[in-house]
Structure 1
Amino acid sequence: MSARTWRFGLGPVLAGAALVAGLVAAGVGGAKAGERRAGTVLAMDPQARILTLDEFGANAERRALRVRVPREAAVLLSQRNPGGRDVKDSFRDSTITLADVRVGDFVVVELSDDPEVARLVMITLRRGDGS
């Protein structure tokens, strides 16, 4: 490939493709501290306080996410508020226990500084309640 072809033709395209591939590869992997993850509950062990989710990751890749839920973590059930008039009161959150989380529920998990530990678990859809 000549210098002219590199500078004005395929060179920038190949360099850009390599950069994008590197960024995608760097982003693929396990959970990162502080982020929110969502998925369907595959398994729940209330004694060990371990929750396993089926989630879709990068490139729609399915994977199991396993997190520990410490006693101080918030566990909530979020339900639509039929009397809600605006965005602020459209949903009602109630505190529940980890034992109330069931296999098949769809949850959002907010990770703590440790990516294997949850600081919040919120059920957003109960198994069987969806359309």
Structure 2
Amino acid sequence: MATDGRARRLGAAAALILFSLLLGLPTPAAWAGGRRAGTVLAVDPQSRILVLDEFGANAERRALRVQVPPQAVVLLSQRNKDGRDLTDSFRESTITLSDIRPGDFVVVELSSDPDVARLVMVTLRGRAGS
């Protein structure tokens, strides 16, 4: 019985240490290569800039400005009505930056530079989340 109590205390101590370490880590949004999402406020295909209305940390609304380089992948994701299971529920098709419109809801996957996109995916057309 004494060994069982000691094992529980050690397990609880290890969990507390792990939890403390996790609290000290930066949020995933701050990591390079992270994902951001929001409603498109503006798109400038000439300068390849995308401005999103996103909810950031603490549900704080802000405008996020992202550079979309020519080598970035830009996709439209649409529901596949004929999909049989999770593997074919959506279809992605390549589009251009000029195909993105204000009001579209997009997911942006960032490159190693947090201001530069490596992938932009339109997941909902229209006035999403405004």
Q: TM-score range by the shorter chain?
A: 0.7 to 0.9
Q: Measure the CA separation in 2 of the matches of 1:115 and 1:129.
A: 24
The aligned counterpart of 2:112 is 113
Aligned length: 109
What's the RMSD between the two structures over aligned residues? 2.3
Question: Is 1:36 paired with 2:35?
Answer: yes
Residue of structure 2 in register with 1:83 after alignment:
82
Aligned residue for 2:82, secondary structure, equals coil
Distance 2:31 2:117 in 1: 11
Other-structure match for 1:58: 57
Partner secondary structure for residue 107 of structure 1: strand
Could you tell me which amino acid in structure 2 is paired with residue 80 of structure 1? R
Which secondary structure does the structure 1 equivalent of 2:126 belong to?
coil
Structure 1 residues 104 and 119: CA distance shift in structure 2, 3 A: same
1:90-129 alignment, distance < 5 Å: 90-128=89-127
Distance (whole Å) between structure 2 residues aligned to residue 96 and residue 70 of structure 1: 14
Q: State the Cα distance separating 1:32 from its structure 2 match.
A: 3.5
Residue segments in structure 1 that go unaligned for 5+ positions in a row:
1-18
> Which residue number in structure 2 is paired with residue 12 of structure 1?
none
1:52-77 Cα deviation digits (max 9, x unpaired)? 00000111110111110000000000
In 2, are the aligned partners of 1:41 and 1:52 still within 8 Å (CA)?
Answer: yes
What amino acid sits opposite 1:48 in the alignment?
S
Q: Supply the AA of the counterpart residue of 1:103.
A: P
**Structure 1 residue 23 displacement after superposition:** 4.5
Distance of 2:35 and 2:73 partners within structure 1: 14
Aligned residue for 1:48, secondary structure, equals coil
**Which TM-score applies when normalising by structure 1?**
0.75
Match of 1:71 in 2: 70
Instruction: Give the aligned residue type for 2:88.
Output: D
Amino acid at match of 2:98: A
The two structures have a TM-score, normalised by structure 2, of 0.76
Asked if 2 retains the 8 angstrom alpha-carbon contact of 1:79 and 1:124, the reply is: yes
